[in-house]
Amino acid sequence: MGSRWMEIRVEDLRTYARCPLEWFWERRVGLTRPPTISALVPAAIRAGLGFFYDGHAQDLATAVGLVWLDWCEGWGEPAIAGDLAQYAVGRAKILNLFAAGHVQRPGGGRYTVPEMTGEYRSRMHAAGLTKLGRQLDEFGRTHELLAVDEPDQPGSVLGDAFATSLAAAERAALDLPAREIVLARQVGFHVDVGSGVRLVGEADLLLPEADAPEAVVLEVHDFEAVPWMRAGIAGRDLRVIAASLARPMKAAESTPSNLNWERVARVVFRHWPSGQTFTFRETSSGHLLALTASIARGMRHHVVVPRAVTGYEHCRACAYREHCWNGANWDTLPLVDTGMLGSAEALRAVMEQLRDGLSHDNAAVRRTRQVLSVLENALAETEPADLLAASRRVLEELGDHDH
- Spatial distance between the Cα atoms of 134 and 140, rounded to a whole number of angstroms: 10
Classified as helix, coil or strand, 200 is strand
Reply yes or no on whether the pLDDT at 126 is more than 50.
yes
User: Would you state the pLDDT for residue 251?
Assistant: 59
- Output the average pLDDT for the chain: 86
Reply yes or no on whether the pLDDT at 254 is more than 60.
no
User: Would you state the pLDDT for residue 164?
Assistant: 95
User: Would you state the pLDDT for residue 14?
Assistant: 93
State the average pLDDT over residues 225-230: 82
Query: Measuring CA to CA, which residue among 185, 201, 251, 286 is closest to residue 7?
Result: 201
Beta strand 263-271 pairing with 184-194: unpaired
More confident: 58 or 225: 58
The structural domains of the chain, with segments of one domain joined by +, span: 6-32+178-294, 60-172
User: Would you state the pLDDT for residue 70?
Assistant: 96
Full 3-state SS string of 36-79 = CHHHHHHHHHHHHHHHHHCCCCCCHHHHHHHHHHHHHHHCCCCC
Q: Note whether 248 and 201 are within 8 A (CB).
A: no
Q: What angle do CA 118, 122, 127 make, to 5 degrees?
A: 150
* Listed ranges 42-56, 182-196, 385-399; the one with the highest mean pLDDT: 42-56
pTM of the predicted model, to two decimals?
Answer: 0.78
Give me the sign of the Cα torsion angle 260, 266, 267, 273: negative
Q: Note whether 276 and 231 are within 8 A (CB).
A: no
For residue 1, what pLDDT band results from cuts at 50, 70 and 90?
very low
Reply yes or no on whether the pLDDT at 204 is more than 90.
yes
> What number of helices (H) and strands (E) belong to the chain?
16, 7
State the average pLDDT over residues 293-317: 79
For residue 55, what pLDDT band results from cuts at 50, 70 and 90?
very high
Reply yes or no on whether the pLDDT at 340 is more than 80.
no
User: Would you state the pLDDT for residue 91?
Assistant: 95
User: Would you state the pLDDT for residue 34?
Assistant: 80
Reported as a single tens digit per residue, the pLDDT across 12-29 is: 999 999 888 889 888 888
State the average pLDDT over residues 125-153: 85
Reported as a single tens digit per residue, the pLDDT across 154-188 is: 889 999 999 999 999 999 988 999 999 999 999 99
User: Would you state the pLDDT for residue 4?
Assistant: 63
